[in-house]
Amino acid sequence: MQDDKHKPLTGIDHKRRSLLRAGMSTALLAAPYARMAQAATPAVKLVLLGTRGGPRVGDTGKNLGKFTRMNASNLLLIGGVPYVIDCGYGVSQQLLKAGVTLETVRYVLITHHHSDHELEYGNLLYNAWSSGLSHQIDTYGPPGLEQMTRDFMALNHIDIDTRVADEGKPDLRKLIQAHDITDLGQVLVNEQVKVTAMHSIHPPLADAYAYKFETGGKTIVFSGDTAYNPKLAEFARGADYLVHEVMYAPALEALAKRVPNARTMMEHLHASHTVTEDVGRIAAAAQVKNLVLSHFVPGDDPAITHDIWSEGVRKHYQGKLFVGRDLMEFEL
Ligand SMILES: [Zn+2]
Ligand SMILES: [Zn+2]
């Protein structure tokens, strides 16, 4: 996607250039995260943008026309820089509601290739561009993301070509640098943050990831979609915040009836997601300081109250617990 002339800046390169302009020695630029750790602690804010699990958009039944929960996405603002984790349908709108102008988005991370986590991936990049994007956006996700990015650009090439020629816009294709994550472990390091990834259990997808952000002594972990996985408790050990997906088992039969064209949905749900009790087990084993429930399955059943979501978790975990809702914010 890139030629050398237009090779976009990484977060580190970007910092390097601005520091070099300021006359600083390159020796000072080594080990960006270590240096960041010594610098002033960046302000960190976590925002739940969309808390619904599953691809269906909007509510049904007597709540038809409502959007109690938008599809899955999260935001970390680290020193004011937006990191978007997953891009379910509605992510652009939810970012704006959270007070983030789209052209400021700098990093996008996708946990896995299910549409409730990526349906608006390309459109978010496009919307950032149409809002005045002039810097690079780096995107990260399981293998397939680079191809998906090229495909999105091809799908929209008539519009993109037209606006580049007609309006003098920079070429969107040269502003986006997509990265397929093939080696897990450390996947993104810059002067603000270190991000590591681990494999989740989310069959039939082989590549589904959880992400851990470490910044200024604070740790935030996103489970992504996963079946009960004790390895996640190791990965999230002592985290300040664990944002974990959740499923309420007794409601699943009713959910399956509301989606008449998904014959084997019940089997998929039980093999690939985590029920409330098991979320509590993971959070307790990891001794996280705060547990935030998100990616609710079912996400459109008003009969499942705050207390019902908490009840199973509380059998095992006694730390701080938040039943997530859209646009809920946490200052770290
Ligand atoms: Zn999902
Ligand atoms: Zn999924």
In this structure, which ligand is nearest to the CA of 202? Answer: 2
Q: How far is the CA of 115 from the centre of ligand 2 (A)?
A: 8
Q: How far is the CA of 83 from the centre of ligand 1 (A)?
A: 19
Q: Which residue has the tokens 């996640």?
A: 232
Average pLDDT, the chain: 89
Bigger pLDDT: 64 vs 38: 64
Q: How far is the CA of 208 from the centre of ligand 2 (A)?
A: 8
User: Any residues with CB less than 8 A from the CB of 81 and at least 6 apart, and which?
Assistant: 104, 106, 107, 192
Q: What average pLDDT does this structure show over 270-296? A: 97
296 has a pLDDT exceeding 60: yes
Report d(CA 172, CA 161) in Å as an integer: 9
- Does this model's pTM top 0.85? My answer is yes
Instruction: Please write the tens of the pLDDT for every residue from 193-213.
Output: 999 999 999 999 999 999 999
Q: Is the dihedral of CA 252, 281, 291, 113 positive or negative?
A: negative
13 has a pLDDT exceeding 90: no
**Domain-by-domain residue ranges, the chain?**
4-13+42-325
Q: How far is the CA of 206 from the centre of ligand 1 (A)?
A: 14
Q: How far is the CA of 269 from the centre of ligand 2 (A)?
A: 9
Q: How far is the CA of 13 from the centre of ligand 2 (A)?
A: 34
Q: Where are the beta strands (DSSP E) in the chain?
A: 44-50, 73-78, 81-85, 107-109, 137-141, 176-180, 185-189, 194-199, 209-215, 218-222, 241-247, 290-297, 320-323, 329-331
Band the pLDDT of 39: cuts 50, 70, 90.
low
38 has a pLDDT exceeding 80: no
What is residue 37's predicted lDDT score, i.e. its pLDDT?
52
Instruction: Please write the tens of the pLDDT for every residue from 117-151.
Output: 999 999 999 999 999 999 999 999 999 999 999 99
Percent of the chain residues topping a pLDDT of 70: 88
Q: How far is the CA of 72 from the centre of ligand 1 (A)?
A: 7
Give the 3-state secondary structure of residue 268.
helix
25 has a pLDDT exceeding 80: no
Give whichever of 5-14, 17-26, 138-147 has the largest mean pLDDT.
Answer: 138-147
1 has a pLDDT exceeding 60: no
Q: How far is the CA of 3 from the centre of ligand 2 (A)?
A: 34
Confirm if 323 and 306 have CB atoms less than 8 A apart. yes
Q: State how far Cα 317 lies from the chain centre.
A: 24
3 has a pLDDT exceeding 80: no
What is residue 34's predicted lDDT score, i.e. its pLDDT?
58
Q: How far is the CA of 20 from the centre of ligand 2 (A)?
A: 43
Q: How far is the CA of 227 from the centre of ligand 2 (A)?
A: 10
43 has a pLDDT exceeding 70: yes
Band the pLDDT of 267: cuts 50, 70, 90.
confident
Dihedral of the CA atoms 151, 120, 164, 10 (nearest 10)?
A: -80
Q: What average pLDDT does this structure show over 107-117? A: 98
Closest CA to 147 of 180, 125, 174, 119: 180
Band the pLDDT of 20: cuts 50, 70, 90.
very low
Q: What average pLDDT does this structure show over 102-114? A: 98
What is residue 36's predicted lDDT score, i.e. its pLDDT?
56
φ, ψ at 77 (rounded to 5°)? -105, 115
What is residue 63's predicted lDDT score, i.e. its pLDDT?
87
Per-residue exposure over 109-134, b if at least 16 CB sit within 10 Å of its own CB, e if not:
bbbbbbebbbbbbbbbbbbbbbeebe
What is residue 6's predicted lDDT score, i.e. its pLDDT?
37
Question: Which amino acid is residue 286, in one-letter code?
Answer: A
The DSSP symbol for 240 reads S
Q: How far is the CA of 93 from the centre of ligand 1 (A)?
A: 19
Q: Is 68 left (phi over 0), alpha (psi -120 to 50) or beta?
A: alpha
Q: How far is the CA of 245 from the centre of ligand 1 (A)?
A: 8
322 has a pLDDT exceeding 60: yes
Percent of the chain residues topping a pLDDT of 90: 77
State the fold for domain 4-13+42-325: Metallo-beta-lactamase; Chain A (3.60.15)
Report d(CA 297, CA 33) in Å as an integer: 36
Instruction: Please write the tens of the pLDDT for every residue from 216-233.
Output: 999 999 999 999 999 999
User: Ion ligand 2 — residues with CB under 5 Å?
Assistant: 114, 225
Band the pLDDT of 327: cuts 50, 70, 90.
very high
